[in-house]
Structure 1
């Protein structure tokens, strides 16, 4: 059977017996069955790959040997492609020489200097392992620099950190003291008056405002500059979270693209092409509070055992070299544009423009699934995921990588076109006639809906051929 036949063989992609068996072991050993909520069982249909065994480029293989073209790309962390040779080579070579020493490694200086060159206004950098740690460090630094305790985050951007100051604004706020939650406020994107109102309501209290420079909706003319001016006029700092925009937007930075300089900014994800590394960057007078060359109270700033592991820094340098030497950003946008054009054509052909919608920059496409009333629907999202998975495409988003070829994009368009035909039928006779099992659920919800989970376990066993215990 050739590769094209395997992608569109329903018998092959419906076989998830090994994944089905391992899911229950995972839930016994790991809360939720995964170490990242976005990768959990409740985010995917019952008929889906429960575990990915390996990847190459934009293709992945699950535990049962099913092959998929992938568009989640490690939650946007893999922009070059899985197992990208230059990154693997750099990381492995460094690993063979040791990865963690008693004193700093020279590569820490080299990598910091290279990254600073890419970020407008940045004068110093410090490395860590994940985005949450970096953004929390930015918040602590802003509080120390300004002497204030409150912060404000953009309410239209759903995730900044797993720490209390950010998660307190979501329905999953169990375990967070109310006193801590009162120190975080929200403002709306592209609405300067929303942020200005906070400064009026809490005069002299706000240390910083944090937001993503751009998400699904681009900033309106003058918004980012206006927000920066508003912060500085009121004695606060502007923090830009570039975990997603970094190394996906033109010039590797949304700040560069939109010609704005934040006081502090955070990068990660694609910077290591999936290898754990993130960074906090900012103006020297702020960042040096975590160092030795000042006479103010010191800030405990990102002092972690594994923050500057040399193999991760080597990987980051290899990523930056690849971006410098090859047309990565241009390819992400070109392939994303090809995908958008094909999907929108299929959407029009099936009469689904009101129900299936694409959004975001072409290098970072997302989609929304709506019901017959045009309301966003988890049920229809689940059906779309089920039908694309059935056709060899794993697409929680439609995020392209440097490894997505024209053939990969065209196969994906064909699979989505076929999935949308089922979507059209589901609008007419109801999704229940086509969906196997329960719908997916929002990550940020207060309850785990255990009854659905129990029902799902039985259906997974039946669908995958695993006997119930």
Structure 2
């Protein structure tokens, strides 16, 4: 379909209604309509497998489903069956459900590097809980976060370091410092400069580039030598890198780690896991001051725990991590070939681990460009591809990938015209897409 003929009147009307009732028009900033070309932000009706349908009736091949959370595809039968089984049995009681025990056993069997686990509903809560544990265990106030990783929590200790720091006292932000990924010397310099003050190092163990040999082990040694807690944020790497996360793949054991996203295949469940002596500080069997760790009314709803167990069983029994990598490699090869064939191989770049692909849109000078991203997204949408990233789900088929590659080729043909003109503006259809973290709306 020609992009000029591609209209979403019902989605546009629904977006207007959403903005009137919901701040930002969505419940996650990364899902906001400012992340999409003007008037081309689909509002979703439903999804199945690797496909979603918008309220205008259009079907898309979808990538990055649920901000990377739906890695098995929408309405996966094994997961929905497990959830349905619990729905008629009650979801929340005055005492722990037996599923809390079963889910903990299942998780710790899948991630054997951890000794205890506690479940919650979202990644921010468990990552903040890890920080609180580290501060309690060390008696230190400062938190060191990896500067190269985009997001750790909605809580003040992290958000205060972003351009969206309105409402957060400087006294809190000042307690968070940063270190560069992959640079052990700079991290040691930071730890030495703030000697005895840093409670923990918080990072994603891997990102769009693989960790250099020895880096994670070196970070482990630095944390031990300086007496701070090593925290791996495995929201993205958990399950996608391997069933046991990046720590299972690279063989470096953190003190604490946090999981979410793929863990529930779209259902709300997250996990804080780690060393028994640290985790028990939030329990009842230790002599130290108690840590208010995680105490959430809905943290262990039975249907969400059932979903998590079904997801982990599916990953292990069906080799899902390997399938995600194989699908990602197939997609990346097709996209790169299509882009090179249209003369945009140096401008539309596919990056990242095969199970977690993103794309970069570069201008005529090789610099990241929101304008060219807008052009690219418009053409993908018109080609029936909803792709804020190229993060795959295991539900993708060869036909889905072929459709995606065709849409990329069509987008790159227009991209080449814009590069030759030195100005993508005529192909944007309105304002460019915006970065999530910015000071003004």
Q: Which residue number in structure 2 is paired with residue 149 of structure 1?
A: 141
Q: Which residue number in structure 2 is paired with residue 383 of structure 1?
A: 375
- Report Cα offsets for 1:272-299 as digits up to 9, x if no partner: 0000000000100000000000110000
Q: Which of 434, 437, 440 is the aligned partner of 1:441?
A: 434
**Conserved? CA contact 2:241–2:355, under 8 Å:** yes
Partner SS for 1:354: coil
Query: C-alpha displacement at 1:432, in angstroms?
Result: 1.3
**Conserved? CA contact 2:8–2:40, under 8 Å:** yes
1:102 matches 2:94 = yes
Q: Which residue number in structure 1 is paired with residue 311 of structure 2?
A: 319
**Conserved? CA contact 1:71–1:399, under 8 Å:** yes
Partner SS for 2:300: coil
Q: Which of 33, 39, 46 is the aligned partner of 2:38?
A: 46
Matches within 5 A, 1:159-308: 159-308=151-300
Partner SS for 2:431: coil
Matches within 5 A, 1:46-125: 46-125=38-117
Partner Cα separation in structure 2 for residue 11 and residue 106 of structure 1: 55
Q: Which of 397, 402, 408 is the aligned partner of 1:416?
A: 408
In the superposition, the TM-score normalised over structure 2's length comes to 0.98
Partner SS for 2:243: helix
Partner Cα separation in structure 1 for residue 275 and residue 210 of structure 2: 25
- Report Cα offsets for 1:294-348 as digits up to 9, x if no partner: 1100000110000000000000111111112112112111111110011111121
**Conserved? CA contact 2:129–2:293, under 8 Å:** yes
- Structure 2 unaligned segments of length 5 or more: list them: none
Partner SS for 1:271: helix
**Conserved? CA contact 2:113–2:248, under 8 Å:** no
Partner Cα separation in structure 1 for residue 213 and residue 319 of structure 2: 28
Matches within 5 A, 1:396-435: 396-429=388-421, 430-435=423-428
Query: C-alpha displacement at 1:11, in angstroms?
Result: 7.8
**Conserved? CA contact 2:12–2:40, under 8 Å:** no
Partner Cα separation in structure 1 for residue 319 and residue 279 of structure 2: 32
Partner Cα separation in structure 2 for residue 145 and residue 350 of structure 1: 56
- Report Cα offsets for 1:413-434 as digits up to 9, x if no partner: 1111111111111111221121
Partner SS for 2:238: coil
- Report Cα offsets for 1:415-464 as digits up to 9, x if no partner: 1111111111111122112110100111000011xxxxxxxxxxxxxxxx
Partner SS for 1:250: coil
Q: Which of 89, 99, 119 is the aligned partner of 1:127?
A: 119
Q: Which residue number in structure 2 is paired with residue 354 of structure 1?
A: 346
Partner Cα separation in structure 2 for residue 48 and residue 157 of structure 1: 29
- Structure 1 unaligned segments of length 5 or more: list them: 1-7, 449-469
**Conserved? CA contact 1:151–1:184, under 8 Å:** yes
Partner SS for 1:363: helix
**Conserved? CA contact 1:49–1:63, under 8 Å:** no
**Conserved? CA contact 1:215–1:360, under 8 Å:** yes
Query: C-alpha displacement at 1:194, in angstroms?
Result: 1.6
Partner SS for 2:164: coil
Q: Which residue number in structure 2 is paired with residue 373 of structure 1?
A: 365
In the superposition, the TM-score normalised over structure 1's length comes to 0.92
- Report Cα offsets for 1:248-289 as digits up to 9, x if no partner: 012341111111100000001011000000000010000000
Partner Cα separation in structure 2 for residue 117 and residue 387 of structure 1: 44
Partner Cα separation in structure 2 for residue 132 and residue 118 of structure 1: 22
**Conserved? CA contact 1:147–1:207, under 8 Å:** yes
Partner Cα separation in structure 1 for residue 2 and residue 57 of structure 2: 13
**Conserved? CA contact 1:245–1:252, under 8 Å:** no
Query: C-alpha displacement at 1:118, in angstroms?
Result: 2.2
Q: Which residue number in structure 2 is paired with residue 458 of structure 1?
A: none
